[in-house]
Amino acid sequence: MELRVLQYFLAVAREQSIVRAAESLHLSQPTLSTQIKAMEEELGKQLLIRGTKGSRKVTLTEEGMILRRRAEEILNLVQKTEREISLSDQVTVGDVHIGAGETDAVRFIVKAARELYKTCPGIQYHISSGNSEFVLEQLDKGLIDFGIVFGSIDHAKYNSIPLPHKDIWGVLMRKDSPLSAKEAISPEDLWDKPLIVSRQDDNNGILTAWIEREISELKIVATYNLLFNASLMVEEGLGYAIGFDKIINTSGNSNLCFRPLSPQIEEGMCIIWKKYQIFSKASEKFMQQIKESSYLISLASL
């Protein structure tokens, strides 16, 4: 049994779909199906229960669940051994690909990269920006190594580390807006105002829970997936944008200002990566730096 095929099997177990697993592994579906069937024949046991016609979802048999546990242990041991050998080399070069939503938490990632640069100047960092939906899609397709997202995490598919940072929800508005005189914005302040909201916010139910109104009862004039675009709408007087603090610069000569919500809503962030992922040497070094930086900050806060 090859380690490569074990990794294929774990990808299918994670995605619960041969089609999605093949996509994430950059293989064709027939190739992956053939590899899994060959493994089943080699073991003499059925590992997957294929979905009925019209359903592509697969589930693990009892033997499949046993293999999943053992495969995780085997691959973890192999990765640990590879790290111990490869990291003994003092020269580390390579690329680290990160997907991130609009959040000030990116500063933490940048600081970790800056610290790692002192010992590993040959690592290059590539950041792709988008909302959580974009980040997860890029991660699942194997186009990025890490993603920075907020909200709940699917722990069956991803490993994660909470970042020592919380974003604050609030309202981005023009400085000449009537609400700019307030220190914080209450739900009733927005009931009759034209609003620009995040599409992702609707999915998480954050806005409706805080504002105590259904979306259909509000004056939604526009939606966005990047707050920068929403800030242009606000600047042109289209409405009030609900989003995170510290993303849009409202200092100096800016025509905009930001006011936090009241009661205050904070959103935690995590850096995530796919389970059973084999990191490059550069990505492994970066992950070690993230863990070390998070640990040091947690100690300082005690």
Cα–Cα distances in Å, from 144 out to 108, 155, 168, 283? 18, 18, 27, 10
Classify 113 as helix, strand or coil: helix
Average pLDDT per block of 10 residues along the chain, 302 residues long: 89 89 90 92 91 74 91 81 62 87 88 93 90 87 88 88 89 96 96 90 70 90 92 97 93 94 91 86 91 74 54
pLDDT at 55: 59
CB 231 within 8 A of CB 256: yes
Element (H, E) at 96: strand 93-100
Is the peptide bond preceding residue 263 cis, with omega within 30 degrees of 0? yes
The reported pLDDT for the residue numbered 101 is 83
Secondary structure of 172-200 as H, E, C letters:
EEECCCHHHHCCCECHHHHCCCEEEEEHH
Q: Are 234 and 207 within 8 A, CB to CB?
A: no
**Residue 8: per-residue pLDDT:** 92
- Smallest CA-to-CA distance from 31 within 8, 11, 15 is with 8
3-state secondary structure of 131: coil
CA distance 207 to 221: 15
| pLDDT, position 85 | 66
Which residue in the block uniquely carries the two structure tokens 């510290």? Answer: 246
For 51, which DSSP code?
A: P
Q: What's the confidence (pLDDT) of residue 73?
A: 83
> What pLDDT does residue 225 have?
84
- Which two three-digit tokens encode residue 72? 């995780």
Distance of alpha carbon 26 from alpha carbon 11, whole angstroms: 11
Residue type at position 281: K
SS (H, E, C) 244-276: ECCCCCCCCCCCEEEEEECCCCEEEEEEEEECC
Are 62 and 44 in contact by the 8 Å Cβ rule? The answer is no
C-alpha torsion 107→112→118→120, nearest 10? -120
Name the token pair of 136: 């997860």
- Who's near 21: CB < 8 A, 6+ residues apart? 8, 11, 12, 14, 15, 32
